[in-house]
Amino acid sequence: MNRAFERFEAVMEKAMALQAAMALFEWDNETLAPKEADEYTAKTIGSLSEQYREMMVSEEMRGAAAACCREGGLSGTEEAMLKEVKEEMERLSCIPAGEYREFAKLRAVATGVWAKAKEEQDFQKFAPMLETIVEYQKRFASYQAKEGQKLYDVMLDSYEKDFSMEALDAFFGELREALVPLQRKAQKACADVDDSFLSADYPLHAQEEAARFLAEYVGFDFNRGVMAVSAHPFTTNLHNHDVRITTHYRKRIDSSIFSVIHETGHALYELGIRDDLTQTVLGQGSSMGMHECQSRFFENIIGRSRAFWEPIYGRVTEIFGEPLKSVALDDFLAAVNRTAPGLIRTEADELSYSLHVLIRYEIEKMLIEDDVPVTDLPEIWNRKYEEYLGVRPGNDAEGALQDIHWSQGSFGYFPSYALGSAFGAQIYFHMKKEMDLDRLLREGRLDVIRAYLRERIHQYGKLKTSRELLREITGEDFSPKYYIQYLKDKYGR
């Protein structure tokens, strides 16, 4: 073994421990921490974040990395870790320590400000904070930008490599052209579908029991994971033996049902990462898009199919009781696949979902590239919702304040949701050539599907890019056509 690499690993382990600590604090903040703790805990998280940065750009890390290169003879995996660390080092070292730290502190309180503004349905109460966040993110991007690189492209790159604005403009262009008319048509066709039984007064414990059952059925391992409740469902992990998901319980039971399947899709990715990659810089999903691909594949392509529900529908309706118990499976499926333009992205049906994402992509571009003032956002937001979906938010909470992302400084994340759906459809078309997916689902053999995804995707963590994975699995480069085809097949009928 390369001796220098051992030293490199020891330094990386420290950075990873700090990252795990930050993940735990974030989990704790969203699920449990007392409400007055914020300001003080922000100081702790800010310091951990600063220490993470210091560790990554330290002489110790640089020296260890340089020694590895000099000594040579690294394995492919070791090379990849080194490359990943160097990229992170470069990304971080161009941001001055003080600014990095100040932003980490800001970020730790910003979500609270956003949540309060949302509660009060008043975007302008969040606007000054958002303006500061946008300034930070633009400045950070300008530090990182390569010669001539646009700022929003820098941001996009941190979530999804090889997908610049140019690529995304083309991608979203195709989606818009195909989906806007498809959505209008499909919407009319299912206008009469009854979904009132989804929001009958089911007891909370039934929702909890169903959530646990579904998570386990899809493959969540409760010996290596935890499920809790938070305002905004998410998945996090400390390593591949501690993966955590959250859900929320609303009046409409499909909200928690599909959020649990979605988060379990994320969790399967993290649980499936190889042991030699977990707790290293490669111990995470390939990209945000590939992560969303896994979650949305399970939530929609699998989770809203007839074959998935056939073996478990009886059990699930037993848990909920009446009125669901008397609803035929086909009526349930029609309800959870009904397309109707709504205001809330996370509650959107599969077809209109990408239009929600498209709106955010366009707004982020305006915000970052065209310097549109933050205070204009609600109006821009509402206009775009009218244009693409034909609905107009009644207040900011169901408008520009609905998502947590911007309060976290995540600009460029949203496109991942649409890309992930498109990745998923492309993989789905290929999988169907290799196995009888419907039969497997009807027989409850989700283990075969999990094994397939683990072998081709999960195990590699960040060792391969999403484009590489797609090419290896499907034998061709990324193409949005499968996603459009999938939606046409499903909603064109």
User: Rounded to whole angstroms, how far apart are CA atoms 1 and 211?
Assistant: 46
| Contact assessment for residue 56 and residue 17, using Cβ atoms and an 8 Å cutoff | no
- Residues in contact with a copy of itself, total (CB under 8 A)? 38
Whether the CA torsion 454, 460, 461, 467 is positive or negative: it is negative
Would you put residue 26 in left (φ > 0), alpha (ψ -120 to 50) or beta?
A: alpha
The answer to the question of residue 459 lying near a copy of itself (CB under 8 A) is no
Q: State in angstroms the smallest separation of the CB of 402 from a copy of itself.
A: 27
Report the largest interatomic distance among the alpha carbons of the chain, rounded to a whole angstrom.
70
With vertex at residue 264, the alpha carbon angle to CA 263 and CA 266, rounded to the nearest 5 degrees, is 65
The answer to the question of residue 274 lying near a copy of itself (CB under 8 A) is no
Assign 347 to helix, strand or coil. Answer: helix
- Which of 30, 50, 153, 270 contacts a copy of itself by CB under 8 A? 50
Residue with smaller CB distance to a copy of itself, 17 or 391: 17
The answer to the question of residue 51 lying near a copy of itself (CB under 8 A) is yes
Q: State in angstroms the smallest separation of the CB of 231 from a copy of itself.
A: 17
The answer to the question of residue 223 lying near a copy of itself (CB under 8 A) is yes
β-bridge partners, 228: 246
The answer to the question of residue 98 lying near a copy of itself (CB under 8 A) is no
User: Rounded to whole angstroms, how far apart are CA atoms 469 and 290?
Assistant: 9
The answer to the question of residue 43 lying near a copy of itself (CB under 8 A) is yes
Residue with smaller CB distance to a copy of itself, 43 or 439: 43
Q: State in angstroms the smallest separation of the CB of 296 from a copy of itself.
A: 25
The answer to the question of residue 48 lying near a copy of itself (CB under 8 A) is yes
- Which of 125, 139, 232, 241 contacts a copy of itself by CB under 8 A? 241
The answer to the question of residue 97 lying near a copy of itself (CB under 8 A) is no
Q: Which of 50, 84, 160, 263 is labelled catalytic?
A: 263
- Which of 214, 238, 268, 327 contacts a copy of itself by CB under 8 A? 238
Q: Report strand pairing: 235-239 vs 242-247.
A: antiparallel
- Which of 138, 239, 262, 356 contacts a copy of itself by CB under 8 A? 239
Q: State in angstroms the smallest separation of the CB of 36 from a copy of itself.
A: 5
Angle between the 288-296 and 253-272 helix axes, to the nearest 10 degrees?
Answer: 130
Q: What six digits make up the tokens of 484?
A: 């459009």
- Which of 32, 66, 170, 329 contacts a copy of itself by CB under 8 A? 32
Assign 228 to helix, strand or coil. Answer: strand
Angle between the 446-456 and 253-272 helix axes, to the nearest 10 degrees?
Answer: 50
Per-position b or e across 296-305, b if 16+ CB within 10 A of its CB: bbbbbbbbbb
Q: Which stretch binds a copy of itself (CB under 8 A): 144-152, 165-173, 174-182, 233-241?
A: 233-241
Phi and psi torsions of 228, nearest 5°: -140, -175
User: Rounded to whole angstroms, how far apart are CA atoms 180 and 351?
Assistant: 9
The answer to the question of residue 279 lying near a copy of itself (CB under 8 A) is yes
The answer to the question of residue 3 lying near a copy of itself (CB under 8 A) is no
Active-site residue flag, 39: no
- Which candidate, 9, 91, 21, places its Cα nearest to that of 236? 21
Q: State in angstroms the smallest separation of the CB of 221 from a copy of itself.
A: 8
The answer to the question of residue 39 lying near a copy of itself (CB under 8 A) is yes
Instruction: Tell me which DSSP letter residue 460 carries.
Output: G
Q: Report strand pairing: 242-247 vs 225-229.
A: parallel
User: Which residues would be at the binding site for a copy of itself (CB under 8 A)?
Assistant: 13-14, 16-18, 20-21, 24-25, 28, 32-37, 39-41, 43-45, 47-48, 50-51, 222-226, 238-242, 278-279
Give the catalytic positions in this structure: 263
